[in-house]
Amino acid sequence: MSARNELHAVMMLVEDKPGVMSRVAETFRRRSINIDTITVGKSEREGLSRIIVTLRQNAETVDLVVRLLKKMIDVVEIKELDLSTSILRELVLIKVKAKDRDERSEVLQLVNIFRGQVVDVAEDSMVVQITGAPSKTNAFIELLKRFEILEITRTGIVALERGASFYADEGNNSD
């Protein structure tokens, strides 16, 4: 039995109806499992939304949650993603204090190195945008900490598996 709490990503297709997201989140809450990120949006299939949940738990806990979510009538398909063969991305907006030309120049250099963008400049601050794998966005945030970070907002992780196979090939909601 594994006791390590590692990052896991669970992808599901659900009916695009009111209350589905709260019922999914309630499954985690009832078991006192913290969700790291949760994203939801329309999928390629009419009437279905895709939810990506990331969490730091042991494999047994993740397996339990997947089994419980499979039983929900609104969950059409569900699977845990193999992180080594999946693409994970997030969008981060960061407002950083930049009072003078030197600070702005340093922030701009970091933004360029990380292939980000400056999306707003005010008299005493800048808003920068970065997209990428969570490790990239976390590294960027760490480097910006030497400037005063005023605000951060993150989208949560979106993910897809690499390769030609697609979600429906798996048949993951049948036991």
DSSP 32-69: TPPPSEEEEEE-SSTTEEEEEEEEEE-HHHHHHHHHHH
Summarize pLDDT for 4-37 with one digit per residue, the tens: 789 999 999 999 999 999 999 999 999 999 999 9
Q: What is the pLDDT of residue 148?
A: 93
Residue-wise pLDDT for 92-146, tens only, equals: 999 999 988 999 999 999 999 999 999 999 999 999 999 999 999 999 999 999 9
pLDDT at 165: 61
Q: How far is it, in rounded angstroms, from Cα 175 to Cα 159?
A: 24
DSSP three-state, residue 84: helix
Could you give all domains of the chain from N- to C-terminal order, each with its CATH number? 6-81 (3.30.70.260), 87-158 (3.30.70.1150)
Measured between alpha carbons, how far is 156 from 92 in angstroms, rounded to an integer? 9
d(CA 53, CA 35): 7
pLDDT at residue 41 is higher than 80: yes
CA distance 69 to 168: 17
Confidence class for position 163, pLDDT limits 50, 70, 90? confident
pLDDT at 2 over 80: no
